[in-house]
Every structure is written in structure tokens, then in C-alpha cells.
Amino acid sequence: MRLDALPMLAIAVFSIAAPPPAFTQDSSEATPRTFLVTIVEARLSEQNVSLTKPGENVDELWAALRDSSKTEWSESVQCTALEGLKTRLMFGRNVAFVAGITESPHGKTKNMTDKPLGTGVSLVVTESGKKLKLDIEYQSSRLAGENNGELPPPDLETNQYNSSTLLELGKIQVLALTPNSSLLIRIDLEASN
């Protein structure tokens, strides 16, 4: 399958708010900060956002991905992360597909197989000067067509993103764009920090 024949898929935007000191001043024990991490993966249904210079079009891309009339699909995940500790989440499901058909004197029998679909995220947020360093591994798989229980089975669409990047708290940034989707992330400080 040629990548240039696929619809545009944007991959990652991050947002983080202004960081307070890394540890509380009035406690004898250091307390790591807690971040609220929101990750959105989506596909634009129309090519209405210029993605040639994603750094200059972040606000336009973010607005387009949040507008349901301009997205083909989107998925959102939210989790909390303690500074410096790995956060990992995985969710998904198995979907039955027709793998083949066996014909016998008694008739036709569909041979079924299960395939896993879902999303997995592993991330670590640490302070790096006046910015936050994000180490992230993101992968997702979904059906690229309808599963009607017939042959041929629908294609699986998979996206994978691994990176270490510096982010500003409270600012949206594009991590990656693919022909299939956009992955956006927003990191905010938990209110109790």
C-alpha cells in the first residue's frame, strides 16, 4: 500500500502549562509533580489544514482535529503521570475475522481468527530546564474498513510513534504527522500541585 495514496493522518500535538517548582518547599520529603496527560489520535476527513509546516499551523490543526465535522474518527485517552515515573496504559479488544472458507459435502464453513485492536501508551515526563522532557511510545491498531464477516477481511491500520521531545507546559506542539492520522498530546499540571 502506498503512503501517498492514503488520507492524511496527523499524529501528535502536546500542550503543557507553566511549571511550578519541581518539589514542594514546606515538606521534608520531596513530592513529585503529577501531570494530567491527554492524548488524541484522529484522522482529518478533508485536507483543509496545511500540514507542510506543522509548527506554524498547530492551532489550526488542533481546532480541525477537535471539530467532529472535519474528522473521520478520533480517539482520546487521559491518564495521570508522576514526574520521572513510567506510566503505561493499554486497552483494546479482539475482533473475529473470516480467515477462509472450507467447503465440504455438508456445506461451507467459515474459518475464523481473532486479531487484537487497540491502543498502547508508555510515557515518562521529567523536568528539563524550563521545559518538560517527554519520552513516549504510542501504538494503535484499528480496522481500515468494515468487518462484514466475509472475505476478504478488512485491512488493519496501525500507527506507531516513539520519541523523546521537549515540551512547554500549556503549549500545543505537533509531534508527528502521517498519511493516516494525527496524534496530539496535551500535558497539564494536576490542580493539587
The DSSP letter of residue 53 is: S
Q: Three-state DSSP class for 68?
A: helix
pTM here is 0.71
- Of 2-11, 27-36, 97-106, least confident by mean pLDDT is 2-11
For residue 143, the tally of other CB atoms under 10 A from its CB is: 15
C-alpha cell at 132: 518538560
Q: Three-state DSSP class for 65?
A: helix
Q: How many CA atoms lie within 13 A of 11 on its CB side?
A: 17
Helix or strand (DSSP H, E) at 66? helix 58-66
Give the closest residue to 35 by CA, choosing from 193, 188, 191, 192: 188
- pLDDT tens digits along 155-187: 888 888 899 988 888 777 777 777 667 777 778
**Is pLDDT above 80 for 98?**
yes
**Is pLDDT above 90 for 46?**
no
In sequence order, which residues have a C-beta less than 8 Å from that of residue 68 and are 6 or more positions away?
A: 74
**Is pLDDT above 60 for 143?**
yes
> Is residue 183 within 8 Å of 173, Cβ to Cβ?
no
